[in-house]
Amino acid sequence: MRKAKKSVPKRGVVKKKKISKENDKKEIKSQKSTKRESSESSQVFGKRQSPIDIVSKNVKIDAKLRKNGGLRIDAKNCHFNLSITECGWRADVDEGTSVALLAPHLIGDFSLEQFHAHWSSDSKCGSEHTVDGKSFAAELHFVFWATKYESFAEAAQQSDGLAVVGVFIEESNKSIPKLFANSIQEAREAGKPIAFSLDLGKLLPSRSTFCTYPGSLTTCPYSESVTWNLFKEAIRISKQELGIWRQISPSNYRECQKMNGRKVLSSEKF
Ligand SMILES: [Zn+2]
């Protein structure tokens, strides 16, 4: 009995070690999958974090935002390099391409650096910004930087250095021609960036009503350097195309942050 009693805790100890090794593995796995969340929890944030919930009754219409055609992206056929990132994809502007953002509230020139998107596995949520608590299936972000600074990296550290244009995406069951899903698949298979061309107009809504507020990057390092510009009208992307995005990551959006007294202005009723 004594021997048996002795051998039980021994086996128990060995078993425990095995379990703890397995747990370690699990922990490492979960650390990888929640890397974004853990990097977020270790940050100290200021008072202008993004995304936010846009409460339409609190949005103030500012006629000045409609001056000179309001918010415009000056681009047609553009060349990009598409790469797969840790939790999504990113299309970097190719050297020969120049895309400008023009808007009455933005002083100086802003040039496109890259665009990417946020989504989830469920079309009921996935956008980062929400409107009156409503989420969209996904959200595109066109990231521009103020060329009065030396580089994108320098601009990203200034309170007025970046301007991001957000476009809400609705999932459509209709057969819509693929945009760049093939390039995403190619980049995944090749394990390196893939060059592609695109008429950016296909990723922008036809109506130009937009709202703007001061905010931050929604991914690490969450710099509070972004003037956000969100179009009211969503674009539609096919379920098949979103399905290819979801193969990279099931979900990559950040939850809404506190307003901290910030005001949202819009060009027309939002
Ligand atoms: Zn983004």
Domain that holds residue 63: 39-266
127 and 196 belong to one structural domain: yes
24 and 103 belong to one structural domain: no
- Measure 115 CA to ligand 1 centroid, in angstroms: 8
23 and 44 belong to one structural domain: no
More confident: 180 or 12: 180
120 and 177 belong to one structural domain: yes
pLDDT band at 171 (very low <50, low <70, confident <90, very high): very high
Residues within 5 Å of ion ligand 1, judged at the Cβ atom = 141
The DSSP secondary structure of 105-156, one letter per residue, reads: T--S-EEEEEEEEEE-SSTTS--SSEETTB--SEEEEEEEEETTSSSHHHHT
Task: Please give the tally of structural domains in the chain.
Answer: 2
Write down the catalytic residue from 79, 105, 118, 129: 79
Q: What percent of the chain has pLDDT over 70?
A: 84
pLDDT of residue 18: 42
190 and 234 belong to one structural domain: yes
Compute the average pLDDT of residues 8-22. 40
- Measure 257 CA to ligand 1 centroid, in angstroms: 14
76 and 10 belong to one structural domain: no
27 and 45 belong to one structural domain: no
216 and 259 belong to one structural domain: yes
CATH number of the domain encompassing residue 70: 3.10.200.10
213 and 93 belong to one structural domain: yes
- Measure 114 CA to ligand 1 centroid, in angstroms: 10
119 and 20 belong to one structural domain: no
**This prediction's pTM:** 0.85
* Cα–Cα separations (whole angstroms), residue 132 to 45, 55, 62, 119, 167: 24, 5, 20, 18, 16
79 included as an active-site residue = yes
